[in-house]
Structure 1
Amino acid sequence: MDATVVLGQQGRLVIPANVRAALGLAPGDQLHLHVAGPRLVLERPADAVTELRALGSLVPRSRSLVEELLAERRLAAATE
């Protein structure tokens, strides 16, 4: 689904009704906005969490990201 929106004088965007309906958005829903390169991305916080959990499920359980981060921080601290 594509839509073109116009940025209002006060920096506001109106999400077209058909897009809101297709996504199940209602007045008062919160959306998270972030910049990804030259793009603006709007997403519901719950959708972002779902995406992050899916990414996390790809990491083997035998791998400890916490231990890797701690090792990197220790190495950086030792070289300062």
Structure 2
Amino acid sequence: MDATLVLGQQGRLVIPADVRAALGLAPGDRLHLHLAGRRLVLERQQDAAAELRGFAASVPASRSLVEQLLAERREAAARE
């Protein structure tokens, strides 16, 4: 699905109704916007959070990212 949007005077964009319907967007939904190079990526916050949870799910439960970060910081401090 493609759509052309026009940036309004106050920097506002209107998402066309068919796009909103396809994505299940409703008035009041909160969206997350981030830049990917020179592209704007707009997604529902719950979708962004689900993606992050998916990344974290691949980390074994036996691995402590906090402990790994602390160890890396200690090594860096020892080199200084």
Q: TM-score, normalised by structure 2?
A: 0.86
Task: Report what 2:17 is aligned to.
Answer: 17
State the alpha-carbon separation in 2 of the partners of residues 36 and 74 from structure 1: 33
Task: Report what 1:44 is aligned to.
Answer: 44
Deviation (angstroms), 1:48: 1.0
Deviation (angstroms), 1:67: 1.2
Q: How many pairs does the alignment contain?
A: 80
Task: Report what 2:59 is aligned to.
Answer: 59
Among the aligned pairs, what percent are the same residue? 77
2:59 aligned partner, one-letter code? V
State the alpha-carbon separation in 2 of the partners of residues 59 and 16 from structure 1: 38
SS at match of 1:41: strand
Say yes or no: does 1:7 pair with 2:7. yes
Task: Report what 1:69 is aligned to.
Answer: 69
Task: Report what 2:30 is aligned to.
Answer: 30
State the alpha-carbon separation in 1 of the partners of residues 4 and 71 from structure 2: 47
1:12 aligned partner, one-letter code? R
Structure 1: segments with no counterpart, 5+ residues: none
State the alpha-carbon separation in 2 of the partners of residues 70 and 51 from structure 1: 25
State the alpha-carbon separation in 1 of the partners of residues 31 and 79 from structure 2: 41
